Structure 1
Amino acid sequence: MSTNPLNETELAEILQIAQEGEKKLREMSDRATIIAEKWRIKTQSLEPTPVKTESKITSGDRRS
């Protein structure tokens, strides 16, 4: 079985298809990042913020 080498036009077409695919993947990745960030912000705003309470015990008030 023998294969014929690709000519310059065929190689250019393959390169163009690959570059278009790479561009599409980059766009999809960027879009996914934006959606993930929006989701993170949305879910953080839904969670109650924990309130830090300061300890009322001072070093002189501790009991053993």
Structure 2
Amino acid sequence: MKKLSAKRRKELYSLSSLLFHIIAFISLLFILNYNSEEKKVAKKANIYASSPEYEQYKAASGRIATLK
């Protein structure tokens, strides 16, 4: 195998380092976006579960279940 010159090795190292950092950055963006979406869904579910309409729905469902 042919030995690489110092300049060529430095270029190769720079490119591979750049590629690694780009991949790491994109992965981090995906992870943060996923966590953000989970928090939004959890917040919506919590708001919905504590709403008066949901309480009325639960009470009505309970009454219907006892009638059957």
Which TM-score tier does this pair reach, normalised by the shorter chain? Answer: 0.5 to 0.7
Tell me the TM-score normalised to structure 1 length.
0.64
Q: 1:29 aligns with which of 29, 33, 46?
A: 33
Q: Determine the C-alpha separation between the residues in 1 that align with 2:37 and 2:13.
A: 36
Identity %: 9
Q: Determine the C-alpha separation between the residues in 2 that align with 1:20 and 1:12.
A: 12
SS at match of 2:52: coil
Q: Hey, which of these two has a bigger chunk of helix by percent?
A: 2
Tell me the TM-score normalised to structure 2 length.
0.60
Unaligned runs of 5+ in 1: 1-5, 52-64
Q: Which has the higher contact order (CA 8 A, sep 6+)?
A: 2
Q: Deviations over 1:11-51 (max 9, x none)?
A: 11001001001101100000011111000000011111187
Cα RMSD for the two superposed structures: 1.9
Unaligned runs of 5+ in 2: 1-9, 57-68
Higher-Rg structure is 1
Q: Determine the C-alpha separation between the residues in 2 that align with 1:48 and 1:39.
A: 16
- Displaced runs of 4+ in structure 1, greater than 6 A? none
